[in-house]
């Protein structure tokens, strides 16, 4: 059941309300919709988190939290989904986004070697920023949409299976009487 799995992994809302980076949202964190576990809230949180994972900035979790508050979706799930872009997955994720953007814009993909330094960022980003950001935007839209509908379908399938098991259990009890 996804609800029990998510509840087990979710941090305590009271602790999140006291988190130093989330305190900037103040009373907005007291909205109960941010903590509900239902199909709409979780699928929306997947979409928000996946989209924010494709935003190439270091404070993606704060953006995901703000978007979760704005769209009234589950805050912990949207922040956790941002972790799809972590130091291990970031290079292939952003490089493929760059290649997608270059292909969609019809510009030739330039060869470059990634180096995590301010010098590389200021020099190389000047040449690749348009296809890179466009590719990140398109990939974010596509994958967040897939995540949204995929989670809605997954949730529905799990709930229908649960309802069917409950129905069979009731029928078995009636048959045994």
- Per-residue pLDDT of the chain in tens (177 residues, 90 and over written 9): 456 666 665 666 666 666 676 667 777 777 777 887 888 899 999 999 999 999 988 888 889 989 999 998 998 889 989 998 888 888 888 888 988 998 998 888 777 666 666 776 677 777 788 888 999 999 999 999 999 999 999 999 998 999 999 988 888 888 777
Can you give the pLDDT at residue 48?
95
- Cα end-to-end distance, the chain, whole Å: 29
Q: What is the pLDDT of residue 52?
A: 95
Helix extents (H) in 18-117: 39-53, 60-71, 75-81, 90-105
Give the pLDDT score at 56. 87
pTM of the model: 0.78
Do 60 and 93 contact (CB within 8 A), yes or no? no
Q: Residue 76 has what pLDDT?
A: 87
- Yes or no: say if 82 and 51 are a contact pair by the CB < 8 Å rule: no
Q: Which pLDDT score, from 0 to 100, does residue 122 have?
A: 73
What is the distance between the alpha carbons of residues 83 and 61, in angstroms, rounded to a whole number? 8
Q: What pLDDT is stored for residue 1 in this prediction? A: 47
Total domain count, the chain? 1
- What pLDDT is attached to residue 111? 75
Question: Domain residues for 97?
Answer: 2-176
In this predicted structure, what is the pLDDT of residue 34?
A: 80
**CB neighbours of 89 closer than 8 A, spacing ≥ 6?**
none
């Amino acid at each position: 059941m996804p609800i029990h799995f998510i509840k087990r992994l979710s941090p305590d809302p009271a602790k999140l309300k006291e988190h130093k980076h989330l305190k900037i949202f103040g009373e907005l964190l007291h909205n109960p919709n941010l903590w509900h576990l239902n199909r709409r809230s979780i699928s929306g949180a997947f979409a928000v988190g996946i989209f924010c994972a494709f935003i190439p900035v270091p404070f993606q979790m704060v953006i995901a939290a703000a978007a979760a508050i704005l769209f009234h979706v589950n805050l912990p799930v949207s922040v956790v989904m941002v972790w799809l872009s972590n130091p291990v997955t970031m290079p292939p994720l952003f490089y493929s986004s760059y290649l997608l953007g270059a292909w969609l814009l019809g510009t030739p993909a330039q060869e470059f070697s990634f180096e995590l330094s301010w010098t590389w960022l200021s020099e190389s980003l000047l040449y690749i920023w348009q296809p890179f950001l466009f590719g990140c935007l398109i990939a974010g839209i596509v994958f967040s949409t897939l995540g949204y509908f995929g989670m809605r379908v997954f949730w529905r399938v799990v709930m229908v299976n649960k309802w069917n098991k409950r129905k069979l259990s009731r029928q078995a009890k009636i048959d045994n009487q």
